[in-house]
Each structure stands twice: as structure tokens, then as C-alpha cells.
Amino acid sequence: MMIRGARVRLNGWQQAAVAMGSAIGALMDPRRADLIAALGETTGKPAFERVLERMKKSPEGQAILLDRPRVISARVGHAWDMPANTFGAAYAKFMGSRNFSPDDRPPVRFMETDELAYVAMRAREVHDFWHTLFSLPTNLIGESALKVIEFEQMFLPMCLLSVIGGTARFSEKQRALFFQHYFPWATRAGMQCTDLMCIYYEQHFHEDLDDVRRKWGIVPAPPPPRQ
């Protein structure tokens, strides 16, 4: 499956300008998924190339690159019919409780090859699988903690910039909670789990949630301490 959309070729200066503009815009409004996506693409080519090479060396990664599955409603809707204890049901509950749609991700625009464009899109589309597996909320603290894990997994500059931008917007109480509780956990969790980009998640929807967490070395976020 090709990654369709208005892909744009940029020279070095144009890439730097888009990256800088996206970074400033994303820091001002972290809810702008399009700006965060553009920042990830214009600063992340070397990181995505490394992810691609790792996927080519992994059996499941190879299968993903061959099939090019998309995390869209037409392809993952069966998760809503899975038994309650399964990974698929947990993902469906996560999405449904927040009224999220898998079709809401912005398209890839600034990757040079179709193969890299797919890797960038895959990283974007499996984000909510990771929220589910790590039991992270979608508030600013939860997103920042997941970005720590994503940085350790992919070394995307965008992830580091997102953590810096997110923590800058924390209240003093949120900042203390993040750095004392979530940041140490996320640092350990990102290092000890398997390569998250080399998992064909859709083929594991039917499996028990706790079983796949153990198999992939995933430790869910601990509940915040009682005040």
C-alpha cells in the first residue's frame, strides 16, 4: 500500500524553515498535531532510517514492511468485537472512551521515499497502541511520558522537543509529579521493552493484554502517588 497524499520535496533551507516554524508553533500550541507531525518529519529522517533498518532485520518488522498495514477504522474495527481481556478490546476501550478515531492522523508530507514515508506513518499510527499498552492518559503529563519512551525507542528529536515544550507548560505541581514519578518510570520502561516499531500489533489483538505486555517487556505506568 502506498502512502498517498501531497508529499512535498524540500531543499535544506526549506526543511530548516519548516522545522523551525513547526517547532515554534508546536511549543505555542501542543494540540496542533499537524505541526508536531511536520516537526517529526523534517528533523527525523536519520532516526526513521535507523528504524527502517531495524525493521528489515526483524521477522515481524519485515512482515509489516511487506504488508504495510494501516491503523485506520476499516482495518482495526474488529478490535471492538474482541473479548474483554484482550489487547484489542483494551485498545477499543481506550479509543472509544475518548471518542478518538484511528482515521484522525495527519498524512506524511515531507519524507523523500515511499518506504520512509510508511515508517513515519506507522510510528504515528501506532501511538495509541502504546498509550493502551503503557496505560498512559492523553493529558499533558501522559503525552510527555510517552514521548520519553518514544525518544528512547527511536531517538526522534521531535520527541525530546515535545517533552521540553510539554514540561514548560506544566504547573509547579505537575512538574514535580512528572519528574519525580513519571519520568523515572518512562526512562526505565523505554529501555527495557522490546523494539516497539517491530511489533505487528494488529496480529496480536486477540491475545490477553497482560500476556502481550509480559512478552514485549512492557511495564504499565504506576498510579500517581496519593497526595
Q: Is 211 annotated as a binding residue?
A: no
The CA-based angle 19-24-25, given to 5 degrees, is 95
Cα–Cα distance, 191 to 175 (Å, whole number): 22
Task: Name the nearest CA neighbour of 224 among 161, 178, 163.
Answer: 178
Q: Is 181 annotated as a binding residue?
A: no
Q: Is 131 annotated as a binding residue?
A: yes
- Bridge partners (DSSP) of residue 86 are 208
Cα–Cα distance, 52 to 16 (Å, whole number): 23
- Residues 160-194 as b/e (b if ≥16 CB within 10 A, e otherwise) read ebbbebbbeebeeebeebbeebbbebbeebbeebe
Q: Is 204 annotated as a binding residue?
A: no
User: Residue 58: in which H helix or E strand, if any?
Assistant: none
Cα–Cα distance, 135 to 84 (Å, whole number): 16
Distances (CA, A) of 217 to 46, 82, 109, 209: 26, 23, 33, 12
Residue list for the binding site for Zn(2+): 127-128, 131, 143
Q: Which residues are annotated binding-site positions?
A: 127-128, 131, 143
